[in-house]
Amino acid sequence: MAVAAAEGAQRSGMVVVLPGLYVGGAESCSSPEALAAAGVVAVLTVDAEEAPLPAAVPGVRALHVRARDEPGADLLSRFDDCAAFIGAARATGGAALVRCAAGVSRSAAVVTAYLMKSEGLRREEAYAAVKAAKPDVEVNPGFEGQLKLYEAMDCAVDVSSALYKRYRLQMVTQRYPELQDLPQEVFAVDPTSICQTPNTEVLYRCRKCRRSLFHSSSILSHMEGSGPTAFAHKRITDSTQLHDHGRDKCTSYFIEPVQWMEPVLLGVMEGQLLCPKCTSKLGSFSWRGEQCSCGCWVTPAFQIHKSRVDEVKTLPVCDFQAAKT
């Protein structure tokens, strides 16, 4: 019976990856009989437009993830939702079908992410399993990068992580090439609008006027570059201009955009970042990217010079009370 169902599913364009999990192209939903025989109770469509299910398929749940098969399309932010949808179908003893136009890139990326999350597989292992089931799958380079990032985040989309914030900023530059009407979730909350800084956070203030600028959670770390050798093309010969590796290699903080920056960033590719209170220069920004003093190229870059800000660490309440006694 199971063999017959699998063969019927294969003929209709559905390929079994795991028991209760199929992947396919647009034609995989063309046969209500094949869907019923395969026990499909949920269909996940990853496409630019939503394709309706056949009318003769009652009781089948549907989820549409809007995405084109382009490297700049965002699947990462939906990986957890997709995994939950697939998992819920399989948990009831039914099957889930993940489909896209050709069943080659988008659906394969989603199924790979699901295997990573549900089966604890490494990215390469999960992708190999999908490709073994359907040899023609070929995830585009953008989705491959998103799967790598998903793995780096332990297969859970954490919107507060520096990795995800940097990814989100890179997506913004592709979705909003004119940099107008940027989504508000791109901007971190202005510290001046927060009554109290959490004990786990470090607050950074303008050294000149003491205006609060950003929290430590807004700092986006980057891989250390190659140091002075990265600047050889600039023909810097003065040793005082070359970065001394005995000191702090990164002389700036690269952060996510903060709400007070919004008027400066909209519609502009690059420029200076000035204190919103005293207008002293804090650093610079470039959606194209800037080079850190350590040599690493950061894209996009919102750079605040460490010499222009001061750290303000919050004293834990318990320690403060202990100090009073």
CB neighbours of residue 293 within 10 Å: 21
Catalytic site includes residue 100: yes
Strand partners, 206: 309
Strands 40-47 and 61-66: parallel
71 near 141, Cβ under 8 Å? Answer: yes
Q: Which of 29, 82, 100, 292 is catalytic?
A: 100
Q: How many CA atoms lie within 13 A of 317 on its CB side?
A: 3
Any residues with CB less than 8 A from the CB of 98 and at least 6 apart, and which? 21, 22, 23, 24, 44, 46, 82, 86, 107, 110, 111, 114
CA pair distance 34, 266, nearest whole angstrom: 51
**What amino acid is encoded at 241 in this protein?**
Q
Q: According to DSSP H, which parts of the chain are helical?
A: 2-11, 32-37, 79-91, 106-119, 123-133, 141-152, 162-175, 262-265, 317-324
20 near 91, Cβ under 8 Å? Answer: no
The residues that are catalytic are 100
